[in-house]
Structure 1
């Protein structure tokens, strides 16, 4: 590659601006405009790509709506009721609160679709519950909370899967279905680690909930437990598109919290809308930057060139998937997940298609990789979130999160080598891939 070429200078500019502290979305837009200027192309193309990409992709609307649904759920008493339900189910075992942490992430995964939202919302509550009276070390509670939050965007709904559908044209509905089994496998792997740790470190046994109380607790949580049913039922019955289902989820969370539970004030609602808008705006800028930079990448024929290079290596589909796993896990240590999804993954998709790899299987595998990147040192974003929430040293948090990371890595290897584990449920509901 010519180091003085417009593309090289563009990449250098993006990297330099990002290191200087400019948000990566803004850096990609600036670097792409620099490329257009140096290449003698119309710089207005940058605005054209952003506008066309943003206003012709109806799917993007699902992102802020899922974020709003998560915010509305966290400000109401839906969280408390669901936590009580989880505690009644698994709290009676040794290390019960750790199992509650995992189960609540599985249940809340069907509502928010955001790992950061789960960690900052229910994760903060679990951190306080686990460390109360010194029951669990703060670093262990924070590590488990970070690991369980990873499950959220794998089990539907999933904001990363929405973004993958944006760059791959894969079906969101079948991607959502494909994430169910891998998400449950990761939860099982985490529970096995907790079982071992509970006996080795003598974690406490919580006071069991009387069986007679279980129907009452379940009934109190029932409207909240129905949210994933409403959301996914609308999608797979054909009544709503995924974007419309996201709007239904947000409305359902609002109605349950305000009308039924009466636990949300106008001030709470205003703050949740404001927080959702800020998060959506930051993701929107990343998408905008990726749209422009992907146009530059396409002009330079990077995907086709990479595809030809990999074909010359004569890789089998399985070898290619292993290579992609390695690449994404390494990049996950240093890059933010949305950037990988919007910039790196589109370059890999043509090769995957040429090798006959199923796009739903590939998408789920990619999302699992990116989620593991959230708890992979040194950059893992969830590690920094939980360090701030739990006020524990990063080195202690990393030490306690590594067993969970390795266990979930085993689940990733399983779904990589066994595509049917991902595709079984989508095929059961009509997927032809």
Structure 2
């Protein structure tokens, strides 16, 4: 290893700083500045990249606004009303409470775009309900909460798809539409596995909600149920941009919680803003570090070098996608998802484009892979979240996630090798890819 080479020195320092416990975003910034110094380049370029990439990016505003929308929904009664609606629909079946967990994740995904927000908000509530009176084991409740939360970043609005759009220049609107069928595929596979587990383990049934009560429950949940509809209609109708849609989501959540339901006051609003601010700062530092590091990667011409190397093997598009799946699934076990999207994926995009792979299809496949990393050890961020909430040992939770993980890997194979599943809905709205 030649440490006199600026890029080698950059990578070595990045790994060393990360292993010493410095957050990955800060590590990338420090390593990139060291590269600029060693290469004899202007170190002020790091600040210039931040200014040009972050502060002039209108798209970036969507991330904190979607985070704020999720926080506002969790602080009010919107989540409870959604939970009651889901229970009225599927709670009467065997394993009904587990089915409610999956269904609420599907609906909540259409409003938050964040797996962590789903698991920490509605998921926390679902775990408490599922483990009450020993109905379900804490490990199964935690595992189901983790795997069902994976739907949130696939379905619109999706924060990871916004970040992918940032590095690929693919249309956010079409990416959102492309995530609909894959997200539903995950939901169907998880509900099928719950139904199979319910018969095998004799899960309890819940008291059925009388049919005469369902219209009232639906009306109370209607304001929350309408948010995904408002966002998609606004996006595809050309009424608002994705960033404006994020602002609408946050404003709508505040309007419903504070004015219609009247359960969010100034104290709750302040707490939501604080929480959203902390999460946004964390994500923002990661994006900032990745943008500066990507400049280093571009200067070294790494993406084109990798593209030439891979194309020399005469790969077909399907072979390349298979390799990408394997690489990203392995990296997902070790790295945080946003880091993969911002650092690894830009290196793969030139090869995908050279092979004629549709960027919208590629984006959904990539995000699907990255989100599976949230439930795969040893990093598995969602596993840590539900372990802390449920109190169950990590080993037991990982064991109970395995059937669901197999189902999601099957769904990943389908969307990888059958692009029509991903592109069907966007093409209905005029996408020509």
Q: TM-score, normalised by structure 1?
A: 0.99
Aligned residue runs from structure 1 range 15-414, under 5 A? 15-414=15-414
Task: Give the whole-Å Cα distance in 2 for the aligned partners of 1:347 and 1:403.
Answer: 32
For residues 4 and 415 of structure 1, the distance between their equivalents in structure 2, rounded to whole angstroms, comes to 44
Tell me the distance in 1 between the aligned counterparts of 2:387 and 2:398.
Answer: 10
Helix, strand or coil for the counterpart of 2:174? Answer: helix
Aligned counterparts of 2:334 and 2:254: Cα–Cα separation in 1: 37
Separation in structure 2 between the aligned mates of residue 336 and residue 8 of structure 1, nearest angstrom: 22
Q: Give, in whole Å, the separation in 1 of the partners of 2:116 and 2:222.
A: 25
Once residues 316 and 231 of structure 1 are traced to their aligned partners in structure 2, the CA distance between those partners, rounded to angstroms, is 37
Question: Residue by residue, what CA displacement relative to the aligned partner does 1:35-73 show, whole Å, maximum 9, x if unpaired?
Answer: 000000000000000110012211000000000000000
- CA displacement, residues 281-337 of structure 1 (integer Å, 9 cap, x when unaligned): 111101110110000000001000000000111110000000000000000000000
Query: CA offsets per residue over residues 239-266 of structure 1, 9 Å max, x none?
Result: 1000001001100000000000001121
- CA distance in 2 between counterparts of 1:313 and 1:202 reads 52
Question: CA shift at 1:4, angstroms?
Answer: 3.9
- Give the distance between the partners of 1:160 and 1:225, measured in 2 at CA: 22
4+ runs of 1 displaced by more than 2 Å? 1-4
- CA-atom RMSD in angstroms: 0.8
Q: What is the Cα deviation at residue 2 of structure 1?
A: 4.8
Distance 2:273 2:246 in 1: 15
Partner of 1:335, secondary structure, is coil
1:202 Cα deviation from its structure 2 partner: 0.5
Unaligned runs of 5+ in 1: none
Aligned residues: 433
Q: Distance in 2 between matches of 1:27 and 1:38?
A: 16
Distance 1:229 1:280 in 2: 25
Q: Secondary structure at the match of 2:165?
A: helix
- What is the alpha-carbon distance in structure 2 between the residues aligned to residue 381 and residue 260 of structure 1? 35
The 2-side partners of 1:29 and 1:332 are apart by 22
- CA deviation vs aligned residue, 1:361-406 (integer Å, no higher than 9, x gap): 0000000001100001111000001100111111011100111111
Which secondary structure state, in structure 2, belongs to the residue aligned with residue 314 of structure 1? coil
CA deviation string 1:51-103 (max 9, x = no partner): 10012211000000000000000110100101000000000110001100000
What is the CA–CA distance in structure 2 between the aligned matches of 1:324 and 1:279, rounded to whole Å?
29
1:423 aligns with 2:423: yes
CA distance in 2, matches of 1:33, 1:3: 15
The secondary structure found in structure 2 opposite 1:334 is: coil
CA-CA distance at 1:192 after TM superposition: 1.2
**C-alpha distance in 1 between matches for 2:81 and 2:191:** 22
